[in-house]
Amino acid sequence: MQQADFLKIVGPFQDKLFRLAKRLLTSREEAEDATQEVLLKLWNKKKNMGEYNNVEAFAMTMTKNFCLDRLKSKQAGNLKLVHTNYEEKGSSLQKQVEANDSVSWVEKIMEDLPEQQKMVLQLRDVEEYDYDEIADMLEMKPTAVRVALSRARKTVRDKLIKKHSYGIG
């Protein structure tokens, strides 16, 4: 397999790998390193790439496993907790500040979720994978994916309601 062929296969989902790594590692630099490592591992397995039913799902699983191993390792103590807020172009400063605040709150809430719920929420609501793909990536049953997603969404919703209602209601 030539480099151009490899890039045609992995190019479309390269950003998804980065976003998953960023969600798990929270540091942009660490996520970039993780993505690069996963892409390097995929390159080394390029001869066997035709054997995989879904290269994207395989790469997402590799990313998840790499990030979790990284968090478990001694290097996890050195990870920086750096968050970048998403910017909206062409909106008023007030709306931009509110949007950034909301994104920050959701990110903080997601950080506190159990690891499995965090990954299911990221893969379903951010990356837009279907339940069967998520079940394959996380080695879960589709029903368990739905339950974890429901619990994660409920936790996020409850904490946002609590934040915005200031204890009223």
Compute how many other C-beta atoms are within 10 angstroms of the C-beta atom of residue 35: 23
Lowest mean pLDDT among 19-23, 33-37, 68-72, 85-89: 85-89
Amino acid in position 9: I
Higher pLDDT, 152 or 87: 152
Better-scored residue on pLDDT, 127 or 93: 127
> From residue 85, how far is each of 15, 40, 104, 137 by CA, in Å?
17, 28, 7, 27
- Domains along the chain with CATH numbers: 1-82 (1.10.1740.10), 91-169 (1.10.10.10)
Is residue 88 within 8 A of residue 99, CB to CB? The reply is yes
Q: What is the pLDDT of residues 85-120, one digit of tens each?
A: 444 455 567 777 766 677 777 788 888 889 899 889
> What is the reported pTM?
0.53
- Tens-digit pLDDT profile for residues 66-92: 988 888 774 555 554 444 444 445 556
SS3 147: helix
pLDDT top residue among 73 and 144: 144
